Amino acid sequence: MEATVEVYYKHNSHPFLLYDDIAYFGEISYLFKTRNFYRFKIQDADQNKKFKIYSITNSRLDDIFVAFPDFKDILKIRALRR
């Protein structure tokens, strides 16, 4: 594992979730149109290491769902199971 992403709710000082490499997040607030009150922090033993974080805009995600309409339902099911 290269790094983890700590997920905090609002201004809490302790993370309530840890994501490993290649995890994705944010789809729940998009899919269910809820406001996201989370903040994220990358944790790694090597503080000098650089990381890449990729994001996708709502409009691009909409384009993906138009091209692959079944994927939105699959993503909703996976989101509800987390």
* Digitized pLDDT (tens) for each residue of the chain, 82 residues in all: 577 888 898 888 999 888 877 777 777 778 888 887 888 888 776 767 777 777 888 899 899 989 999 988 888 888 888 6
Whether 41 contacts 53, CB under 8 Å: no
- Spans of all domains in the chain: 4-46+56-81
Q: How far is CA 37 from CA 29, 40, 47, 61, in A?
A: 10, 10, 26, 20
The pLDDT of residue 57 is 85
pTM of the model: 0.58
Alpha helices in the chain (DSSP H): 27-31, 58-67, 69-81
Name residue 4's beta-bridge partners: 43
